[in-house]
Amino acid sequence: MYVCVCKNVTERQVRCAVSQGHCSMKSLCSELGVMGQCGKCAKHTRELLRQWQHERPVATTA
């Protein structure tokens, strides 16, 4: 399913970016271009990010 129609970004692309370490909205915006135009995708992208982080916690360094 498309998350961002303006930039043609899919859920799969967001999941892939998160698995590669893009674990913030700012990072996803920079990597995929989400929220770069109309911003309507922000809510759904944020929900997906939270869901996938909960399913697969990302290791952080101190």
Residue from 12, 15, 7, 18 nearest 41 by CA: 7
> pLDDT per residue over 30-47, tens digit each?
999 999 888 899 999 999
- Superfamily in which the 2-55 domain is placed by CATH: BFD-like [2Fe-2S]-binding domain (1.10.10.1100)
* Ranges of each domain in the chain: 2-55
Are 9 and 41 spatial neighbours (Cβ–Cβ below 8 Å)?
yes
Q: What is the mean pLDDT of residues 5-10?
A: 94
Query: Quick check: pTM over 0.75?
Result: yes
Average of per-residue pLDDT values in the chain: 86
